[in-house]
Structure 1
Amino acid sequence: MSQYFNEAGSVEAVNSRMGPDVTPRLKEVMTSLVAHLHAFVKDVRLTQQEWEFAIDFLTRTGQICSEERQEFILLSDTLGVSMLVDAINNRRPPAATENTVMGPFHVAGAPAREMGARISFDGKGESCLFEGRVVDLRGNPVTGACIDVWSDNADGFYDVQQPGIQPEWNNRGVFTTGEDGRYSFVGIKPVSYPIPHDGPVGMMLDALGRGPYRPAHMHFMVMAEGFQKVVTHTFVGDDTYIARDAVFGVKQTLVAPFERVDGGETIWRSRFDFVLTPV
């Protein structure tokens, strides 16, 4: 093999420069990355102008990042990479509840609430009773499961996006199951909302003819001793964007029933059982 670079031998030229003390995992990842990246460039016959545009795009993606905004994660989300990494790292039996992306709006330390309590405090939206069970793969109830929940408000914003406007811990709470494994709380029927699209990722979505919207969903993080943690959403099945989620977070098994209640204490009811996988 020639020690000099040429088009045909580009992958070998780059990968052969790795030192002898590179860790096996880093060598595996970088060898594959170089091979796929070079194959992509050759496959599309990338032009100099396109390469310069890509460099500028990535530069602007980095420049818009801040403590409040991570445009690179947004890019990963909208290209389906975040969901793919999540799927690979959370393979479970068919009966178990599937994972999906956590999203950027989880806040640690949400208050523990009594089972059945209300989590929505801004007076907006259509009330919804969320209820169900946490069970193992055999259907046995899981006692002491911690269920951390959060959602947007009726205007499509999370409380951390509107400090001083929404009440603190609005549409958030932590619940713990008893011996029957049941959970319940009152929130609102969530609404769809757009991801931030005023930056490079939004420009990419526009160019691809894609929208920035996420379908309405409630976030759940379910943890119990001896079981894998589940980070997931339940989705409103008739939402306009259910088949066009900008970050590909929807899985068929996570589409939950939202039934209108006549004469009840809430306008809606949504029942969903979480099935946990042993560690």
Structure 2
Amino acid sequence: MPDTTGNLTEAVVDSLGTTTDPRLRELLTALTRHLHAFARETGLTTAEWERAIAFLTATGQHCTDTRQEFVLLSDVLGLSMLVETIGGDSGGPATESTVLGPFHMTQSPVRALGADLDLVDGGEPCVVSGRVLATGGTPLPGAVLDVWQANAEGFYDVQQPDVQPPGNGRGLFTTDTQGRFWFRTCVPSPYPIPTDGPVGELLHATGRHPYRPAHIHFIASADGHTPVTTHIFVAGDKYLDSDAVFAVKESLVQEFTETDDPSLAREFGVPNPFRHARFDLVLQPS
């Protein structure tokens, strides 16, 4: 029997010819060709197709106001990181971007510089400080930093509404007249992404671990500059080379240095000794 699947593919592509949005037409055409090619290449069976549909249905059913299972699926397949790298690779001195992650699901509370993100007093005290700069090194006063992280046990506030107060581990900061920022928190710890849904089943089926190396999320923005979504990762973490969502970039790995300086501890309002991470975020002009 002759293979007529190519004719089917072309018929679907032809049906998209009346799409008035040229970019939508381009995307749907490429998607159709790649999906059809995948099915032909793998000899996809009806049973496998039905299982895939059931998996995607379950993924949608696990999405809530505080959990995005489809983002998590995109993350573990490396698609989130690929899209972020394609869109965020400036090729210049700007801070490298990485994935948003599935837990940027609630608005961070506005906090004053120096505020403590750790509202439950858990984990090792830490200070994070630095500047937001333009690519030429000019400080950017009034830049906005959206910060969020898991607690010392590896859970975000939205995962533990009965344990953590809303906004724990989150803050919206504005840099001072010299582009500086600083805040208190606890040293982040590695943690597993949620495994009680379809994405967890996928990881189990493929023999992959669910762990992310310790990190803090940032979105930095300033007038006239392109925002960057990024992390900083704790140097020495054992999962840096096997991040479950493939989001580690070498430039984003930072030392959380143990600091024994009573006067600096008093200045920051933390017990001595403490851990201190110093880094700058660099934004390219828009």
Aligned partner of 2:123 in structure 1 is 125
State which of 208, 212, 216 in structure 2 corresponds to 1:218.
Answer: 216
Aligned partner of 1:275 in structure 2 is 282
Pairing 1:111–2:110 present: yes
User: Aligned with 1:40: secondary structure?
Assistant: helix
CA contact (8 A) 2:189 2:215 kept: yes
TM-score, normalised by the number of residues in structure 1: 0.90
Q: Tell me how far apart the structure 2 counterparts of residues 48 and 104 of structure 1 sit (CA, whole Å).
A: 31
User: Aligned with 1:246: secondary structure?
Assistant: coil
Aligned partner of 2:165 in structure 1 is 167
RMSD: 2.1
> Which of structure 1's runs of 4+ aligned residues deviate more than 6 A?
none
Distance 1:67 1:118, change over 3 A: closer
State which of 34, 37, 53 in structure 1 corresponds to 2:35.
Answer: 37
Aligned partner of 2:98 in structure 1 is 100
Stretches of structure 2 that go unaligned for 5 or more consecutive residues are: 266-272
Q: Tell me how far apart the structure 1 counterparts of residues 168 and 62 of structure 2 sit (CA, whole Å).
A: 28
User: Aligned with 1:268: secondary structure?
Assistant: strand
Aligned partner of 1:16 in structure 2 is 14
What displacement does 1:21 show?
4.8
Aligned pairs (5 A) from 1:38-117: 38-106=36-104, 107-113=106-112, 115-117=113-115
Q: Tell me how far apart the structure 2 counterparts of residues 23 and 274 of structure 1 sit (CA, whole Å).
A: 36
State which of 236, 239, 242 in structure 2 corresponds to 1:241.
Answer: 239
Distance 1:20 1:177, change over 3 A: closer
Q: Deviations over 1:89-135 (max 9, x none)?
A: 2231331001112223333251221x223221211100111111211
CA contact (8 A) 1:10 1:38 kept: no
CA contact (8 A) 2:108 2:167 kept: no
Q: Tell me how far apart the structure 2 counterparts of residues 175 and 18 of structure 1 sit (CA, whole Å).
A: 46
TM-score, normalised by the number of residues in structure 2: 0.88
Q: Tell me how far apart the structure 2 counterparts of residues 8 and 221 of structure 1 sit (CA, whole Å).
A: 45
Distance 1:185 1:86, change over 3 A: same
Distance 1:159 1:71, change over 3 A: closer
What displacement does 1:19 show?
5.1
Distance 1:137 1:195, change over 3 A: same
Q: Tell me how far apart the structure 1 counterparts of residues 120 and 257 of structure 2 sit (CA, whole Å).
A: 23
What displacement does 1:88 show?
2.1
Q: Tell me how far apart the structure 1 counterparts of residues 212 and 187 of structure 2 sit (CA, whole Å).
A: 14
Distance 1:10 1:244, change over 3 A: same
Q: Tell me how far apart the structure 2 counterparts of residues 88 and 227 of structure 1 sit (CA, whole Å).
A: 18
Aligned partner of 2:185 in structure 1 is 187
Distance 1:56 1:143, change over 3 A: same
What displacement does 1:263 show?
4.9
Aligned partner of 2:150 in structure 1 is 152
- Over the matched positions of the two proteins, sequence identity in percent amounts to 50
Q: Tell me how far apart the structure 2 counterparts of residues 246 and 197 of structure 1 sit (CA, whole Å).
A: 12
